[in-house]
Amino acid sequence: MKITFLGTGTSQGIPIIGSKHPVCLSANPKDKRLRVSVLVEWDNYTYVIDCGPDFRQQMLNANVSKIDGIVFTHEHADHTMGLDDIRPFFFKQGDIDLYAHKRVFKALKKRFDYIFTSKEKYPGVPSVKEHIIKNVPFQLGNLKVLPIDGLHYRLQVFGFRFKDFAYLTDMKTVESKEIKKLQNLEVLVVNALREEPHISHFNLEEALDFINKVKPKRAYLTHISHHLGFHDDVQQNLPENVFLAYDNLQITI
């Protein structure tokens, strides 16, 4: 299985428009972060988790020519606003498979009514196939994917386990029965916003505590704010098996 970090930034991305913060001004490519998303590839399957406003650029960066579907963690704009840019895939492949909680589909239908409508579609508008996810395993290609349920302040969010790989973002609270689903992982990806506490996201300390509970072989941090600091400085102070993800990083499991 190959994982490509398409974006590792929090909702505004890094740099933030107009910001003079030193991390936003950094010349290190590892300090430039598009909105959070990953590409998960195995056998001949290619799935994207989330479809934020940088989706087009991310598909170009990772040279993706075909996708088997998009899986959504939740409906926030930084995870959904790139949906119109599925058009090149739709033109080649037909309806694009989307996987999401039914509440997320409700939000997508409001924002992208023209994609979901069945009557008098404007020419060139893409079409999608809805697959509603509940908190039970679901099929993606030849794999059963296990949803991990969590809370993002009060909003329900899904993380996903693909065999020995799990991806959790925008988590603030995860119940112990959900943490039990994460035993014996090779790689865990989890959100770590900044050092200061935040109402709806793990800060660094909470992310490291979570990693200690899950005990994966390796962990990668994502959904990062410029307030966390320069990539290279933060990485130096992390435990041995914990890494700060960065855009375009690829790992094989």
- Interacting residues toward Zn ion by CB under 5 A: 76, 78, 170
Residue (33 or 76) nearer to Zn ion, CB: 76
- Token pair 């599925």 is found at 86
3-state secondary structure of 78: helix
* Contact indicator for 49, 71 with CB cutoff of 8 Å: yes
What is the closest distance, in whole angstroms, from the C-beta atom of residue 52 to Zn ion in the complex?
A: 8
Strand-pairing partners, residue 240, are none
What is the closest distance, in whole angstroms, from the C-beta atom of residue 78 to Zn ion in the complex?
A: 4
Amino acid (one-letter) located at 223: H
What is the closest distance, in whole angstroms, from the C-beta atom of residue 237 to Zn ion in the complex?
A: 24
Residue (50 or 143) nearer to Zn ion, CB: 50
For residue 145, give the nearest of 198, 210, 97 by alpha carbon: 97
Q: Is 120 left (phi over 0), alpha (psi -120 to 50) or beta?
A: left
Residue (42 or 202) nearer to Zn ion, CB: 202
Q: By beta-carbon distance, which residue lies closest to Zn ion?
A: 76
What is the closest distance, in whole angstroms, from the C-beta atom of residue 66 to Zn ion in the complex?
A: 26
Residue (78 or 206) nearer to Zn ion, CB: 78
Amino acid (one-letter) located at 225: S
What is the closest distance, in whole angstroms, from the C-beta atom of residue 129 to Zn ion in the complex?
A: 24
One DSSP character per residue, 141-191 reads: TTEEEEEEEEEETTEEEEEEEETTEEEE-S-SB--HHHHGGGTT-SEEEEE
Residue (42 or 112) nearer to Zn ion, CB: 112
